[in-house]
Amino acid sequence: MADAEAAHGDLTDKLAAGVGDRGITLAYGDKQTIDGVDIIPVAFVSYGFGGTQGSPKLGDGGGGGGVAIPLGAYVGGADGVRFRPNTIAALAVAIPVISTLGWAISRVIKAAK
């Protein structure tokens, strides 16, 4: 049992050690040059992991996951560097926000009657 506990501790330590190295490098991609134009992609990145040490009857477990949503890119040009948003990602984020706002307004109107 002590060996299993040490193995869990080692795995957790290894996973946690790599988190500090990620940071901003996950959100900003490597600079690309396409037709003489410099582009730096930008994304929203989130991830997590966890684990548990269960009883001998239930066992041990763990898992992790993550998401990366492309927000847009910084594009260099004659007029300087500009951020060009990813329209599809903006719409995907806006739809639930607008739906929730509409629902909240309808609740306020119903309450005012």
pLDDT (tens digit, 9 = 90+) per residue, 69-112?
888 999 998 889 999 999 998 888 789 889 999 999 999 999 98
Does position 27 have pLDDT exceeding 50, yes or no?
A: yes
Nearest of 81, 77, 86 to residue 43 by alpha carbon: 86
Q: How many CB atoms lie within 10 A of CB 15?
A: 14
Instruction: Report how far apart the first and last C-alpha atoms of the chain are (Å, whole number).
Output: 65
pLDDT band at 12 (very low <50, low <70, confident <90, very high): low
pLDDT (tens digit, 9 = 90+) per residue, 28-68?
888 999 988 999 999 888 877 777 777 777 777 778 888 88
Decide: residue 101, CB within 10 A, 0-12 exposed, 13-18 middle, 19+ buried: exposed
